[in-house]
Chains A and B, each alone.
Chain A
Amino acid sequence: MAQSKKGKLNYRCPSCFIRDIDIDMFYDEKKKEYYCLRCCFHGSEEEVLRLNDMLKFRYKWMEKRVLDFGDDDKAPKVEDYKGEEEK
């Protein structure tokens, strides 16, 4: 079997990403899957995309826009992002 190659995009291992390691995955043509050199993760492109969505779980304000940083000892005031800054 021939050597593995990069996929069309630079998919990183979702499992390593979550532990703050950026490591590109390689694509196994025979098994039709991406796999990691650093850990045992392997998965299809669909699975990688789904996990990439999932690993944003910690960014609870990823879709919020700060309206006001407010008083020093209070949390910023935010609202759901409506896309004002983007076309």
Chain B
Amino acid sequence: MGKPFILNLVHRLELSPEYSQKTNGAGGKEDAFTGALTSESVEIFKTQQRLAHENGLKTTIQLTYASLFSDECIELAKADHEKYGDEISLSLLGLPCPEFKSKYKTKDFCIWMFSEDDKRAIIDDVFGLFKKKLGFYPHSTGSYYLDAYCLNYIHEKYPSVKAAVATCFEEGPKAYHTCNNSWYTFLDGGPWNPWIPSKENTHCPASDAKDDCGIVCIPHLSRDVMACFDGNGSNFGTHPQNVLRGMIYDHKRRIPYLYNLIDQYRHLGKWNRYAYNMMFVGPGWMNRSGRWEVPYEGLYKSYEDAMRYYGKLKKEGLLIDMTMEEFADFYRIGLDYQEPERCLWKDILYGSTKQYFWYLDPHFRTCLDMNQGGAMIDLRPYAAKLPWKVGIGTRSVYDASYPYLIQANYRAGYFTHYAGEGTVKSYKVKHGSEAYDGCLQRTMARCDVLENGDTLLTLDPVTFAFSDLSCDVVSRFLFKKGEGKIEITREITRIEGKGEVEIEEYFTGAFGINEYQSDMSKIVLTSDGESGHQEIHYAYKCRALHEEKASQIAALIPDVDTLLSMGSDEMVAGNVEEGYAFSPCYRLALSKKFTSKGELRTWLSLRKAS
């Protein structure tokens, strides 16, 4: 492969991890700032550091506000920095401690959820204390999520910060449900690999130097981008605890899935300029009383095994361990803001042949499912760069998710119960009274990066079999670099039988951040073509527009400041459909008829509406 595989191994020194405070259950102390927990946390941190160093790996030590009050913690960090070259960094997680509580009079611990005044005060407090204790400002920081307000403030006030942990891939409603509807980290819709956020919204990659927030961001863990989309994110990532939580181990508590996951991340170098892994652990999960169904010995073994595997890769010259600061410098060498992140991902857990293609650039993030004929099952309009404020005092106190236009799991996709439609982009092939959807065509794809930077995804041919006709269709998706545009070709490569075949390329969309649809009445659907301009102002009335020769059909969605449009250079037939109350979606479709081999080539474009 030849592409560098980089590891950021981050250990944060939490003294009273928020998820450890109540794990003693009924009868346990409610407020766990006990001396015992603190000293156990320090011991676990030391163990984690030792396991990394024994395997020749350097770490980024993220001190927390609480740990900055401990001379022992500071001395530990300094000693490992001297001896192993570990970076001494500063986390905005781990705020809870008696000093924090007495000062801010709250149990909140997620920096993005505070009011703007508190965000500034806390950041200044934490950074100031770090400077006082260490003599310099940190070069990296992080949290589970950092909103644009925090990132911009940190960059302006503490320009020494080059890198930050700033999101957790697909942590949102799924994590909330898994935690019995009690864990309020709603961060869906962001990148799975490092990126530089836009100044407007953390999830969106910056478009250019002007939009660059100044900080290279990395995700919290490297997550299985299929398992985490389909199911609970917290079971499938490069944190051994995730794998234990998912019970993905055999009777000897061996965890080959973790190595397969790491290896698949290494494999992503095939389509990108480097490959990457991030492991981010605190002490809370490795405590003496065990975690989930696993006793301490099992927790220890899982971390030892993980460190040994990374260490083995390093010894074989297949891994470069970097501190977060070093990674930020590396990331900026030869940086091209419009360069996409590509990820052709295979199932490594269920043993199916399911395959996803994830793609993101400053214009959008999307996912295609080859198990559904290449159907688009997720789409986030980054082009809109929504200035979505989050925290107390804003319209969205805790929900930092970036909106989707398509999310086929939250909003049905192809399969619905008897009525209505779900959000998905696919195609139908029709012949006489028969019609089949590409979603029922299981296939796989190849990904090529073209010389001009475009990305071409070519799907293996699929067969549509009608009662008196059959045809093969090859689908191609050409992601145009820097344009916010995908060119989609459905080519009939074989046709046998009599009569006509029609291919319909359709997009069934909505918008939202969770499983429910908010009011759609600001949406305007349009059609332009031979018969001029037509429009529908969304009112759930099940209306439709038809244009025999359409140049463009579109949906203007002011709630997410997005203009979604579809078209074809051939001026094919266009259909636009409004939804209804039981099916709150909109549907755009382009279609063309064939009697012999040929292709339907259409494009899909996303732009900021305002």
The 17 listed contacts between A and B (C-beta, < 8 Å) are A5-B27, A9-B293, A10-B291, A10-B293, A20-B177, A22-B234, A56-B247, A59-B350, A60-B352, A61-B351, A62-B349, A65-B256, A72-B444, A76-B346, A76-B348, A86-B301, A87-B304
Given contacts A12-B293, A81-B256, whether A86 and B305 have CB atoms under 8 Å apart is yes
**B26→A56 contact, CB < 8 A:** no
Interface size class of A (residues with CB under 8 A): 35 or more
Stretch at the interface among B88-96, B118-126, B257-265, B429-437: B257-265
Q: Are A61 and B348 in contact (CB under 8 A)?
A: yes
B447 touches A58 (CB 8 A): no
Residues from chain A with a CB closer than 8 A to the CB of B304 are 87
B446 with A71: CB separation less than 8 A: yes
- Indicate if the CB atoms of B446 and A4 lie closer than 8 Å: no
Complex contact A12–B349 (CB within 8 A): no
Q: Find out whether the CB atom of B312 lies under 8 angstroms from the CB atom of A65.
A: no
Contacts of A5 in B (CB 8 A): 25-27
- Residue contact B312 to A73, C-beta cutoff 8 Å: no
Q: Which residue of A lies closest to B271 (CB)?
A: A72
**A24: chain B residues within 8 A (beta carbon):** 25
Tell yes or no: A6 within 8 A of B by CB.
Answer: yes
Closest to A6 in B: B25
B315 adjacent to chain A (CB < 8 Å) = no
Closest to A75 in B: B353
**A26 within 8 A of partner (CB):** yes
Does chain A have a CB within 8 A of B460?
yes
Task: Verify if B100 is at the interface (C-beta below 8 Å from A).
Answer: no
Chain B's interface size range is 35 or more
A59, B353: Cβ atoms closer than 8 Å:
no
Annotate B344-371 by CB proximity to A: 1 below 8 A, 0 otherwise: 1011111111010000000000000000
- Cross-chain pair count, CB within 8 angstroms: 124
Contact A63 B250 (CB under 8 A): yes
Q: How far is the CB of B398 from chain A (nearest CB, A)?
A: 20
Contact with A along B211-253 (1 / 0, CB 8 A): 0000000000000000000011010000000000101111010
A69 touches B267 (CB 8 A): yes
Interface residues of A in 32-62 (CB under 8 A from B): 38, 52, 55-56, 58-62
Residues on A with C-beta less than 8 A from B231 are 20
A85: B residues at CB distance < 8 A? 256, 259, 305, 308-309, 312
Find chain B residues with CB under 8 A from A81 CB. 250, 254, 256
Report A21 CB to chain B, min CB distance, Å. Answer: 6
Instruction: Kindly state the separation between the CA atoms of A63 and B352 in the bound complex, as whole angstroms.
Output: 14
Return the CB mask of B13-39 against A: 1 if under 8 Å, else 0: 000000000011111000000000000
Nearest 7 A/B pairs, CB to CB = A60-B351, A6-B25, A73-B444, A72-B446, A61-B351, A81-B256, A66-B260
A60-B351, A65-B259, A72-B444 are known; give 7 further A-B pairs, CB within 8 A.
A20-B178, A52-B293, A61-B257, A61-B260, A66-B264, A66-B348, A72-B447
Cβ 8 A contact of B248, one of A21, A56, A65, A66: A56
- In whole angstroms, how far apart are the Cα atoms of A64 and B250 in the complex? 11
Instruction: Please give, as numbers and ranges, the residues of chain A lying within 8 Å of B305 by CB-CB distance.
Output: 85-86
Max count, chain A CB within 10 A of own CB: residue among B295, B304, B348, B353: B348
Collect the chain A residues with CB atoms within 8 Å of residue B232's CB.
20, 22
**Is B245 in contact with A22, judged by CB distance below 8 angstroms?**
yes
Interface residues in B248-307 by Cβ distance below 8 A to A read: 248-250, 252, 254, 256-257, 259-260, 263-264, 267, 290-295, 301, 304-305
**Docked CA distance A10–B94 (Å):** 23
Quick one: closest A residue to B258, CB to CB?
Answer: A85
Bound-state CA distance A76–B264 (Å) is 10
| The one of B234, B267, B301, B350 that contacts A61, using a Cβ cutoff of 8 Å | B350
Question: In the assembly, what is the distance between CA of A63 and CA of B179, in Å?
Answer: 27
Q: Known: A55-B247, A85-B308. Contact between A23 and B180, CB under 8 A?
A: yes
Docked complex Cα distance between A4 and B309 (Å): 41
For residue B249, which residues in chain A have a CB less than 8 angstroms away from its CB? 62
Q: Say whether A74 faces chain B, with CB atoms less than 8 Å apart.
A: yes
| Contact assessment for A72 and B445 in the assembled complex, using a CB-CB cutoff below 8 Å | yes
Contact indicator B264/A69 (Cβ below 8 Å): yes
* B-side contacts of A61, CB under 8 Å: 257, 260, 347-351
Chain A contacts of B587 at CB under 8 A? none
Evaluate contact between B290 and A10: CB separation under 8 angstroms.
yes
Q: B601 on the interface (CB 8 Å rule)?
A: no
A3 to B25, CA, bound (A): 12
Q: How far is the CA of A49 from the CA of B445 in the complex (A)?
A: 40
- Digitize B477-499: 1 where CB-to-A-CB distance is under 8 Å, 0 elsewhere: 00000000000000000000000
The yes or no answer to B199 lying at the interface (CB within 8 A) is no
- Which chain B residue has the least Cβ–Cβ distance from A55? B247
In the complex, B411 has a CB within 8 A of chain A? no
B174 in contact (CB, < 8 A): yes
A10's contact among B247, B292, B312, B446, by CB below 8 Å, is which? B292
Nearest B residue to A22 via CB reads: B178
Bound together, the chains give a CA A65 to CA B239 distance in angstroms of: 18
Shortest Cβ distance from B445 into A: residue: A73
Binary contact readout A5-30 vs B (1 if CB under 8 angstroms, 0 otherwise): 11001111000010011111010000
CB-defined contacts of B252 to chain A, threshold 8 Å: 83, 86
Contacts of B179 in A (CB 8 A): 22
The CA of A27 and the CA of B23, in the complex, are separated in Å by 15
Interface centre among A3, A24, A52, A86 (most CB of B within 10 A): A86
Report whether B351 and A9 are in contact in the complex, using a CB–CB cutoff of 8 Å: no
Check if A74 sits within 8 Å of B444, measured CB to CB: yes
How far, in angstroms, from A5 to B304 measured CA to CA in the complex?
Answer: 32
Q: Are A73 and B460 in contact (CB under 8 A)?
A: yes
Given A5-B25, A9-B295, A66 contacting B263 (CB threshold 8 A):
yes
